[in-house]
Structure 1
Amino acid sequence: MKRDQIKKRPMSDTTLANLECEDKDYRELDGNGLYFFIQKNGNKSWQLRYKKPNGKWSWLGIGGYPEIGGQLARKKAQELITDIGKGENPVITKQERKAKELEHSNATFEALAKEWLDAKQSKWVADTMTRNKGALEKHIFPVLGNRLYTTIRPIEWMNHLKGIQQKHKIYEQVNRIRSMCRDIYDYAKVTGRIDYNPLEGLHKFLEQGKKENMAHVDEKDLPALLRAINNYPTPDVQIGLQLLAMLFSRPSELREATWQEFDLDNALWTIPEQRMKKRREHVIPLPTQAVRLLHELKSTSIHSDYLFPSRSNSHKPKSDTVFIMALRRLGYEGRQTPHGFRHIASTLLNNKGFDERHVEAALAHVKDGVAGVYNKAQYLNDRRYMMQWYADHLEQLADDSVIQFKKNA
């Protein structure tokens, strides 16, 4: 659009967007001393023409376009004109406003939360970071993210979180979100930015709900589940479910596993510390059934570093819902989750008399405090025997060769 085609001022958004550059830089009056500046290289910006106290005219840049649109540019120009009318220096007041805007932008709850997330980067595995960041982006940032975190009152937090619970019926997830938001404020408190936490004590007034994310079948229903898994139609997902049941690792640890972590000759899987929840390397002795399944998976899989690569991108693992959806298709929604295999193994192995220390080491459970730092014993020989026994036991359950004795009524 040529500038001689401008029909009205202030100029419309369409006009601002379509004005063409020329051989030389030029300005077009928008109104009330505000000009639209178009450079010959195509850059566009806003400038205010004003008179200095000495009577000389000068130009003051307001900002680039399209970052600053017409409506905002006119608002900023009017503020500066008001300052000039009061005898103030518009250059100084512009700088002061910019500093205040920057201070406010860094004092929003979203900015504080992102700073807190950055601090958690070295402590959380990728799945945890994705899940927690996603929960904040979905449920908190759209409503409270742009608010100054010092101005959000406890009653606002309670009403918002209660509203999410009532609307989506996600009681446990909302309690986790509340816990994160409380920690975010604690972070602001220990860094000297606030004196009290508006979420303190809020947990007493939220519905707790029932924990369903670790659902698992009873021992009597385990044989049927194992047989269903063995008949799952997609080969790689079938192997994934079999390995989850047999090795009872965390689902993300298996889903994101790479081939370089495995020493199949020595039947060992070494998960590096950066992929572990407690940031400690974890070694899993592999039973013969697992080694056989891994050889089978490797012989049929596409070329990828991952055991379970995404169909659309072999450089990424499958979606975090792959095993959840597989169990759902088998009819186990609400009855068995991928994580629930850990509960089954823990219960079964403890009931069969295996040493609790060996079971806890197999589950990669780390004690808190000094004991957790210094107790690095992994009991590999004992666990190798235990893991082989467990794989054999699952195989026998699936084959229906384990006699189940009913308890007397």
Structure 2
Amino acid sequence: MAEKTKLTDAVIKNIPVPASGSVEVFDTEVPAFGIRVGKGGARSFITYQRLGGGRGRLRRITLGKYGAHPPAIGLAEARRLARAAKADAGRGIDVTAVKKAERRKVIAATDHDTTFAAIAERFLEYQERKVGAKSVAEYRRTLTAASSPLAAWAKRSIASITKADVLDVLDKLDAKEKRSTANHTLAYLRRFFNWAADRDIIKQAPPTDGVSMPNPHAKRSRALKDDELAIVLRALDDDAAVRVLHGVELPPMPDVFKDFYRVLILSGQRRGEAAGMTFAELQYLNNPHEARWELPGSRTKNGLDHTVPLAPAMVDLLKRRRASAERRAAARAKRLGETIEPPSYVFAAQRFNTPLSGFSKAKTELDVRVAALCEALGRPPLADWTVHDLRRSVVTGMNRIGIDPHVVESVVNHISGIKAGVAGVYNQEDYLPARRAALNAWADHVAALEPTRRT
């Protein structure tokens, strides 16, 4: 029997992600209305209705995905749509059939529209059936977003876009030192125009033919050594402590980013995974033997659920973040005279209850702090490093202190070595106790690091 409760944002966010299939929780306020949670963590509002009242076949109608930003919808809007769907069903209107018909009209209209924007929408619809939601979102961000470097092409005929246009976009990105964006833009455009050529939407050769990757680069192998990691960690310390210990005044950096970088160093997880961490994903913080971060497959690169055991240092940091978020939520509710909305994100942006952003600015601030600290210690600046290099540094450092490679791979959710290919089908061991011991040992190692004056 499906669970029933009064749905709130807090209830929805805290529904456990099922190991397989899906789970439905129904609302006590609006009949036959509820939330459906899939094994990947996606949450969608649903309602069950019979056409023509109680005589027709019971249909499940998906009202929309749960979320704060369009096209996702919030709880109040979903309740309104559920009531409207009930009224429509009572009049014999099949809401699902109407939606499909509207979609077919849009596609039919688009078929006669040869603008870049219209063809891009057709390409995105095709990709939705072929690749994951994350990949589609990346295609959409590059091809159709208002902030995209391709936005100026939106109303142009796709046939009018030339190789010179493609090179102009890439050159402008390079001039802004957005080298990775330039590479990705070319890769997505190449797939898009090849798709269009295969379907005879464009008659000429794709304008990406013969365009070289603007910034070919060897695979990075940078991993920070212990003495370098010690400098970065000290640069993340409290400013007053650094002033006392090293006699240097560091430029400011928001505490939220200091904690964010500490989590990357202590956990070895990816930047996007840490930035999107929610309080609902954190389990058993009051039990040091069970504390964990449960990452749903919808948020991991390989699409698999991933458990990150939390070392005591991580638990202390996350509890501090929760207390800070709750104080911020209470202050906001008092200021606006509204009910307190439970905080969702561990690392929230300035805009309340939205994921962290501003990574480039924060990395620049951290680089300046690190450089100032190196100067105060009389040592040369650190060689260039990226945020992703911290992940490689964790993997390298764990191996260096004697943690078994297969455990390290499991810690960072890599499928390689003994878990790759056929071996992975038969080897379902998750090494959770070993991962907990590894992350505890790594946290102890990191805590003992001290910056040196060695030159």
- Same fold at TM > 0.5: yes
CA distance in 2, matches of 1:372, 1:199: 43
CA distance in 1, matches of 2:232, 2:155: 48
**In 2 relative to 1, CA 103–227 (structure 1 residues): closer, same or farther, beyond 3 Å?**
closer
**In 2 relative to 1, CA 231–211 (structure 1 residues): closer, same or farther, beyond 3 Å?**
farther
RMSD: 4.0
Question: Quick one: which amino acid aligns to residue 270 of structure 2?
Answer: R
CA distance in 1, matches of 2:146, 2:184: 10
- In the alignment, what sits opposite 1:140? 150
- In the alignment, what sits opposite 1:60? none
**Does structure 2 conserve the Cα–Cα contact (< 8 Å) formed by 1:216 and 1:337?**
no
**Does structure 1 conserve the Cα–Cα contact (< 8 Å) formed by 2:294 and 2:306?**
yes
Say whether residues 1:123 and 2:130 are aligned partners: no
TM-fit CA distance, 1:274 = 1.5
Question: Quick one: which amino acid aligns to residue 173 of structure 1?
Answer: T
Count of matched residue pairs: 300
CA distance in 2, matches of 1:292, 1:185: 50
What aligned pairs does 1:295-334 form with structure 2 within 5 A after superposition?
295-302=319-326, 303=329, 304-313=343-352, 315-321=353-359, 323-324=362-363, 326-331=365-370
**Does structure 2 conserve the Cα–Cα contact (< 8 Å) formed by 1:123 and 1:279?**
no
* Partner deviation per Cα, 1:36-61 (whole Å, 9 max, x = no partner): xxxxxxxxxxxxxxxxxxxxxxxxxx
- In the alignment, what sits opposite 1:91? none
**Does structure 1 conserve the Cα–Cα contact (< 8 Å) formed by 2:312 and 2:440?**
yes
Select between 123-132 and 110-119 the one with higher mean Cα deviation.
123-132
- In the alignment, what sits opposite 1:224? 231
What aligned pairs does 1:281-360 form with structure 2 within 5 A after superposition?
281-302=305-326, 303=329, 304-313=343-352, 315-321=353-359, 323-324=362-363, 326-331=365-370, 335-360=384-409
**In 2 relative to 1, CA 305–222 (structure 1 residues): closer, same or farther, beyond 3 Å?**
same
**Does structure 2 conserve the Cα–Cα contact (< 8 Å) formed by 1:248 and 1:342?**
yes
Larger radius of gyration: 1
TM-fit CA distance, 1:294 = 1.5
Secondary structure in 2 aligned to 1:202? coil
**In 2 relative to 1, CA 168–240 (structure 1 residues): closer, same or farther, beyond 3 Å?**
closer
Question: Quick one: which amino acid aligns to residue 174 of structure 1?
Answer: A
TM-score normalised per structure 1: 0.61
Say whether residues 1:396 and 2:409 are aligned partners: no
What aligned pairs does 1:186-335 form with structure 2 within 5 A after superposition?
186-189=194-197, 193=201, 198-199=206-207, 201-204=209-212, 206-208=213-215, 217-231=224-238, 234-263=254-283, 264=285, 265=287, 266-302=290-326, 303=329, 304-313=343-352, 315-321=353-359, 323-324=362-363, 326-331=365-370, 335=384
Secondary structure in 1 aligned to 2:294? strand
- In the alignment, what sits opposite 2:339? none
**In 2 relative to 1, CA 253–138 (structure 1 residues): closer, same or farther, beyond 3 Å?**
same
CA distance in 1, matches of 2:402, 2:210: 42
Secondary structure in 2 aligned to 1:284? strand
* Partner deviation per Cα, 1:89-144 (whole Å, 9 max, x = no partner): xxxxxxxxxx9x956873222223334345358431798578645888432231x3
TM-fit CA distance, 1:354 = 3.0
**Does structure 1 conserve the Cα–Cα contact (< 8 Å) formed by 2:292 and 2:307?**
yes
TM-score normalised per structure 2: 0.55
* Partner deviation per Cα, 1:314-334 (whole Å, 9 max, x = no partner): x21232427535524524698
Secondary structure in 1 aligned to 2:293? strand
Percent of residue pairs bearing the same amino acid type: 20
Question: Quick one: which amino acid aligns to residue 438 of structure 2?
Answer: M
- In the alignment, what sits opposite 1:381? 433
Q: Which runs of 5+ in 2 are unaligned?
A: 1-105, 240-252, 330-342, 372-381
**In 2 relative to 1, CA 114–377 (structure 1 residues): closer, same or farther, beyond 3 Å?**
farther
**Does structure 2 conserve the Cα–Cα contact (< 8 Å) formed by 1:214 and 1:339?**
no
Q: Which runs of 5+ in 1 are unaligned?
A: 1-98
